[in-house]
Amino acid sequence: MKIIAYGIRNDELPFLREWENNNPDVEVKVETELLDSTTVLEAEGFDGVVAYQQKPYTKEILDKLGEFNIRYLSLRNVGTDNIDVEAVSKNNITVTNVPAYSPNAIAELAITQIMRLLRNTKRFETKQRNGDLRWAPEIGEELHTKTVGIFGTGRIGRVLLDICRGFGAKVIAYDPFRNPELEKQGIYVDTPDDLFKKADIISLHVPAVKENEHMVNEKTLSEMKDGSYIINAARGTLIDTDALIKALDSGKMAGVALDTYEGEVGVFNEDFPYFSAIPDEKLKNLMERDNVLVSPHIAFYTKTAVQNMVEFSMDANRDLIKTGNSDKVVKF
Q: Which residue of the set 76, 158, 205, 297 is catalytic?
A: 297
Q: Which residue of the set 12, 262, 264, 311 is catalytic?
A: 264
Q: Distance (Å, rounded) from C-alpha 47 to C-alpha 68?
A: 9
Q: Which residue of the set 235, 262, 311, 318 is catalytic?
A: 235
Name every residue whose Cβ is closer than 8 Å to that of residue 224 and which is 6 or more positions away in sequence: 196, 197, 199, 202, 230, 252, 253
Residue 331 φ then ψ, to 5°? -100, 105
Q: Distance (Å, rounded) from C-alpha 243 to C-alpha 239?
A: 8
Nearest to 149 by CA among 207, 216, 66: 216
The verdict on whether 264 is a catalytic residue reads yes
Name every residue whose Cβ is closer than 8 Å to that of residue 226 and which is 6 or more positions away in sequence: 251, 252
| Type of residue numbered 120 | N
Q: Distance (Å, rounded) from C-alpha 65 to C-alpha 79?
A: 20
Which residues are designated catalytic?
235, 264, 297
